[in-house]
Amino acid sequence: MRKTAFFAVAAIAALVLTGCTDSDAPAGGPADGGSSAADLTPVKVGVIPIADTAPLYLGDKQGFFEDEGLDLTIETATGGAAIVPAVVSGDYQFGFSNQLSLMVAADQGLKIKMVSSAVATTGDTSKDMGAVISKADSGISSPADLAGKKVSSNSVGNINDTAVRSVVDEAGADSSTISFVEVPFPDAIAAVENDQVDAAFVVEPFVTAALDEGLNVVTYAYADFDPKLDIAAYFAKTDVDADLLKKFQAAMKKSLEYADSHPDDVRDIISTYTKTDPAVLAKITLPKYPTEFDRASSEKLAAAAQKYGVLKAKPDFDALLP
């Protein structure tokens, strides 16, 4: 049996975890004649309902988790700041979060580790899946123009504002003058249009939606920061059950491989857990869905985070990465 949360993106409240709904498996149990629903091990995963997490939803639909003996439940939140404590408390067995939030959590003494890669930048600095957007007439057209401005991110003190600060400093401006504020991705376009913020960091499908609204891309900050940047990961507590972990990692590997080679299916599945216009979905820039981490880009991100005071110490990557 599969249980997946299909909530409208715009309805997600900040730091509030939503529930899930049930969808029954085909009558008669798994198509391959394997274990029945009663034999499956329940596993709950917390995610952000964005293009980045499409492989998990696809893996659910394709039966990859059932094949590994798992009864998957997907629940949604606005960001890693909400998902990390849910995993630590045991409400979720696994969670999705940007890499830097996980480094910060480990830096604060939380016993967590990354267990599967999730999503990475395309590396294309002219068209990527994450971008800083602004009004076309705002006078903000390059990273240096962000100095002294108010910029939103889905959460503050994570990979987004760290990447932005880095590219702004590299452009010769002073990123310390930027005021970062927290605005959920679904609300970011309106926040820019209504002048609540000068610019906003968004990811797909909101990048394409912003362009369709006539907004301007200031920087594809992930790709500008590092062309191989791993943006996010799936994680668990360090003492996660070894057998459960092995099954989850196997299912995720199949899910990531499937998503990376079936872009049309990725676009289709996104429509089931967001209220994205089909015309927008047809045009969004999909990320890469790697099955292995790029450690060098993770170390570069950690160094930037230390520079900006987000991290106190260099992470123990031997312990933090799979």
pLDDT at 318: 95
Q: Per-residue confidence at 28, pLDDT binned at 50, 70, 90?
A: very low
Q: CA-to-CA distance for 36 and 207, rounded, in angstroms?
A: 41
Would you list the DSSP string of 176-217? GG-EEEE--HHHHHHHHHTTSSSEEEEETTHHHHHHHTT-EE
- In contact, 234 and 43? CB cutoff 8 Å: no
pLDDT at 37: 62
- pLDDT above 50 (res 20): no
Predicted confidence (pLDDT) per residue in 110-159, tens digit: 999 999 999 999 999 999 999 999 999 999 999 999 999 999 998 888 89
- In contact, 103 and 320? CB cutoff 8 Å: yes
Predicted confidence (pLDDT) per residue in 171-211, tens digit: 999 999 999 999 998 899 999 999 999 999 999 989 999 99
Residues 6 or more apart whose Cβ sits within 8 Å of residue 53: 47, 96, 118, 119
Identical fold at 2-121+228-320 and 130-225?
yes
- pLDDT above 70 (res 19): no
Tokens 């975890």 locate to 17
Interval 287-302 mean pLDDT: 96
With b for 16 or more beta-carbon neighbours within 10 A and e for fewer, the 33-47 pattern comes to eeeeeeebbebbbbb
Q: Per-residue confidence at 275, pLDDT binned at 50, 70, 90?
A: confident
**What architecture is domain 130-225?**
3-Layer(aba) Sandwich (3.40)
Crossing angle of helices 263-273 and 54-62, in 10° steps, is 100
Residues 6 or more apart whose Cβ sits within 8 Å of residue 7: 18, 49, 76, 273
Q: How far is the first Cα of the chain from the last one, in angstroms, to the nearest whole number?
A: 29
Interval 294-298 mean pLDDT: 96
Going by their DSSP bridges, the two strands 2-4 and 216-219 should be labelled as unpaired
With a pLDDT cut of 70, the percent of the chain lying above it is: 88
Predicted confidence (pLDDT) per residue in 215-244, tens digit: 999 999 999 999 999 999 999 999 999 999
Burial class of residue 13, CB neighbours in 10 A (0-12, 13-18, 19+): exposed
- pLDDT above 60 (res 26): no
Q: Per-residue confidence at 24, pLDDT binned at 50, 70, 90?
A: very low
pTM: 0.83
Choice between 4 and 52, residue whose per-residue pLDDT is larger? 52
- pLDDT above 60 (res 313): yes
Which of the following CATH numbers is that of domain 2-121+228-320: 3.20.20.450, 3.40.190.10, 3.90.226.10, 3.10.350.10? 3.40.190.10
Mean pLDDT over all residues of the chain?
Answer: 88
Show me where the domains of the chain are located: 2-121+228-320, 130-225
